[in-house]
Homo-oligomer: A and B are copies of this chain.
Amino acid sequence: MDTLSILFSDEMKTVEALLSKNISSGIALIPDLSHYLLDAGGKRIRPLLTLACAGLMGYEGELHYPLAAAVECIHTATLLHDDVVDQAEERRGKASARLVWGNSANVLVGDFLFSRAFQLMVETKTLKVLEILARASSRIAEGEVLQLLSLKNLTMTEEHYFNIIERKTAELFAAACEVTGYLAQKPQDTCDHLRRLGLHLGLAFQLQDDLLDYTAAGGSLGKTIGKDFLEGKVTWPWLTLYQRVSPSEKTWMQGLMDNEDQRPSALPQMIQLMHSHTVVSDMESLVIHHTQRAEEALHALAGPKAIHDAFGDILQSLAHRQH
C-alpha cells in the first residue's frame, strides 16, 4: 500500500481527524478502547481504497472523508466483535482490547462504532451509498456467522470457503471502492468496475493472508506464523491439503483439529506437506488470479496515471507479499 499511502497521506490526515472526532464520547472508555485499537498501527487499507477510488473518479467534493472514516469504523467494530468470538489474546501485536477492558466492553464499543459508521454515512446524504454500506454490513455479519459455523469443518468445500471470505473480507473492500462511483454520480458500469476492483483485491488480500499464516517470513505487522492453524481455523491451505493427503494423513489432520496441544509440534510437518502437495504454489496462483481480475477492473476505469500506477504497485506487491 506504500505508494498509495504516500499519494493520499494528506487526505488520510483528514480521515484520521474525522475518526478521532467520531469516536469521542462523554464516556471515556469509548474513545480509550477505540484509540487503543485504531492507534495500534492498522494499515487503513479500506479508507485508503475509498480515497484512492474517489481520486480515480475525479471526485472534487468532501464527502469521501466521512465515507472513508465510516468504512474504517465498520472494520474496527468487526475486529472488536471478532476478538470476542475468537477469544483473541492479541491484535496488531499487542494484547487484545478484550483482555484489557473485557468482552462486554468490546461488544458494546463495537456497537457504538458501528452506529457511528452509520452516522458518518448519513452525512453523505447519498441514499445509494447508504444502501450499499448497509447491505455490506449485513453480508459481513453473515460471513462471520458462516465462519463461526464452519470452525473445525474439514470437509468444507472451496465454494463454501470463498463464500465466507467474500462476505467477511472482500465485501467491505468492494463497498469501500463502489460507493465512490455513486458519490461522483458515475454511470452504473463504472460503479460495477469499482466494485470488482475492490472485491478481487479483497479476495487476493484474504487468500494471501491465509497463505501467509503458513509461510510468513517473519513476525512483521503483528502476523504470527501458524496463528490460524494453532486456533484450529480451517482456511484454504488447510482444506485443500486435507483433500489431497492420504487417508492416514487425513486421520492425523482430524486428530490435530481435536487436540489443540498437538498442533504446535505438528506445524513444520503441515507446512512441508503443503509444499509437497503444491498447496502453496496453487494458492499463490489463486492470489495472482484475483490480482489480475482486479487489474482488469482497474484498466476499465479512467483516472490520473499516478493513482493507476499506485494501484498497480499494490496488486504487484500483493501477488508477492512475504509478510
| Chain A residues proximal to chain B, CB less than 8 Å | 25-27, 29-30, 78, 81, 84-85, 103-105, 107-112, 114-116, 118-119, 121-122, 125, 127, 130-131, 134-135, 137-138, 140-142, 144-146, 148-149
Nearest CB on B from A22, distance (A) = 9
Across-interface contacts of A135 in B (CB, < 8 A): 119
Q: Which of B81, B104, B134 contacts A108 (CB 8 A)?
A: B81
Copies of this chain, whole number = 2
Closest to A151 in B: B104
Q: Whole-angstrom distance between the alpha carbons of A229 and B122 in the complex?
A: 40
Tell me if A145 and B103 are in contact (CB < 8 A): no
Q: Which of B107, B112, B142 contacts A27 (CB 8 A)?
A: B142
Across-interface contacts of A27 in B (CB, < 8 A): 142, 145-146, 149
Residue contacts A-B, CB under 8 angstroms, 6 given: A111-B137, A114-B137, A114-B141, A119-B131, A122-B131, A122-B134
Tell me if A111 and B114 are in contact (CB < 8 A): yes
Across-interface contacts of A131 in B (CB, < 8 A): 119, 122
Across-interface contacts of A121 in B (CB, < 8 A): 134
Closest to A149 in B: B29
Tell me if A138 and B115 are in contact (CB < 8 A): yes
Q: Which of B111, B141, B142 contacts A141 (CB 8 A)?
A: B111
Across-interface contacts of A26 in B (CB, < 8 A): 142
Closest to A109 in B: B145
Task: Kindly list 20 other residue pairs between chains A and B, CB separation below 8 angstroms, not including A27-B142, A30-B145, A104-B148.
Answer: A27-B145, A29-B145, A78-B111, A81-B108, A84-B104, A84-B107, A103-B103, A105-B145, A108-B141, A108-B144, A108-B145, A110-B111, A111-B137, A111-B144, A112-B142, A114-B137, A118-B118, A118-B137, A119-B131, A125-B127
Tell me if A142 and B25 are in contact (CB < 8 A): yes
Given A27-B149, A108-B81, A118 and B134 touching (CB < 8 A)?
yes
Tell me if A85 and B107 are in contact (CB < 8 A): yes
Across-interface contacts of A137 in B (CB, < 8 A): 111, 114-115, 118
Given A25-B142, A27-B145, A30-B145, A114 and B114 touching (CB < 8 A)?
yes
